[in-house]
Amino acid sequence: MVAVAYAAALVFLFGAYRHAGPLWLIKHSIITSGTDKRNCWRGEWGEMIIVTFAAISALVVIFFTNNVTLVGLLREQPLGVIAFLLFVSIFIWLHSANVVATALKQGRRLRYVRRLRKTYVIYNFYSLCLFGMGAIIVMMLAAQFQYDGRLFAGEANGIAQTFQEARRIVADGAPTDTTYAQAIAQAEGGFSRIALAGKALQNQFNPLFVFAGTLIVINIAINLTKMKGMFTGGAVSMTALFTYGPLVIIGLIGLLVYLNVYEVMLAAALADLQTITPPATLGDWEMSKRHAEMVVELSNARNIFGFAQTIAGEGGGFAILAWGVQTALEKISENSDDDKTPPRMPHAKFRPDDGRAPRRLATA
């Protein structure tokens, strides 16, 4: 499905630019300084790179969301898909209509306006394919996050029941070695389930981290290679926004999970564990030592750094590695003597929407 959307996007993209002809050649091309001459990058090549990166990101997300399928999501949420397509279609068509209306208000010839309108009819289908691939990414990540979240909730419920049973053993039994030994053994079972819950939590965040790492790699490809010349400063800034924006979102999601789920689960387990503290009168120092170790481990795991260590699995390592490579390359780029001439749009003075007043002709 991603391959079909990608192929359709390329067909509509190049079809739109071909139909536009010189209409968009001046408006969307970018000129940069080369080794011995100036380079002119046509707009469709930059957009082709964008849609290619979108397709790669979608494939990466699909690969790492093992427990959900795109076809299954479309079958489960048909109304949501239809609503999204309707919303995006309305937004795209309103935008294109506004561009055409602006050109008409600026006094463009009717032939120019008609050609611009037909060009946007083709281009809008490309935009729909591009937004569709973005929707695939969001849907797959959200579905996998919910799936792993349900697994974690099941483990958390089992952990609570295990520690509550340990508490009940001490409350209903006599204060003897046997009673506290049974309670500690029951708590040990809860500890093993905490490890399983941590793995479920790690699986929940892995696709998010992998997606974030993929975006960082894309940002490296655009900002720290020759491809940067194919994008204006605004496009490069938007790329950085879409790269670091998801990282901020992942951080906020992690904070919410920590405050509302993870910390609550460990706090309840720690409270139950403290009620089964073996009394010193038993004289069993090994039992007291193990109980103290469990209390310390739970206390350390409750802080935000322990939570970060728990969720940072393979995906987190990939994202950190990508961020480190980007930081190193940025430092190298800052110290290089490469040409820093920024890209510019050609023939800006002839563009009606460049924000500058037209020149006045000298009169005799």
pLDDT of residue 294: 87
pLDDT of residue 353: 45
pLDDT of residue 356: 39
Q: Which among 163, 145, 158, 152 has a CA at the least distance from the CA of 267?
A: 163
- What pLDDT, in 10s, does the model give residues 236-285? 565 566 666 777 777 788 788 887 888 888 888 888 888 888 888 777 78
pTM of the model: 0.70
pLDDT of residue 235: 52
Q: Higher-confidence residue: 361 or 28?
A: 28
Tell me the average pLDDT across 340-362.
Answer: 45
pLDDT of residue 26: 63
pLDDT of residue 334: 62
User: Which residue reads 């068509």 in tokens?
Assistant: 93
* Rounded Cα gap, residues 129 and 62, in angstroms: 17
pLDDT above 70 covers a percentage of the chain that reads 75
- Rounded to the nearest integer, the mean pLDDT of the chain is 77
pLDDT of residue 25: 65
Q: Higher-confidence residue: 343 or 88?
A: 88
Measured CA distances, 230 to 6, 10, 29, 41, 56 (Å) = 20, 17, 8, 6, 19
pLDDT of residue 237: 61
DSSP state of 354: S
165 and 189 in contact (C-beta within 8 Å)? no
Per-residue pLDDT for 351 more than 60?
no
Beta-bridge mates of residue 32: 39
Measured from the Cβ of residue 35, the count of other Cβ atoms closer than 10 Å reads 6
At how many degrees (to 10) do helices 43-64 and 110-172 cross?
20
* Rounded Cα gap, residues 325 and 214, in angstroms: 12
Can you give the C-alpha Rg of the chain in angstroms?
29
* Rounded Cα gap, residues 212 and 247, in angstroms: 6
Q: Higher-confidence residue: 337 or 258?
A: 258
Per the structure block, which two tokens stand in for 278? 């073996």
Per-residue pLDDT for 194 more than 80?
yes
- What pLDDT, in 10s, does the model give residues 83-132? 888 888 888 888 888 888 888 888 878 888 888 888 888 888 888 888 88
Lowest mean pLDDT among 62-71, 108-117, 289-298, 348-357: 348-357
Tell me the average pLDDT across 315-331.
Answer: 68
Tell me the average pLDDT across 52-64.
Answer: 86
* Rounded Cα gap, residues 123 and 316, in angstroms: 37
CA 165 to chain CA centroid, Å, is 40
pLDDT of residue 203: 82
Residue ranges of domains in the chain: 2-350
pLDDT of residue 218: 76
pLDDT of residue 350: 43
Q: Higher-confidence residue: 58 or 336?
A: 58
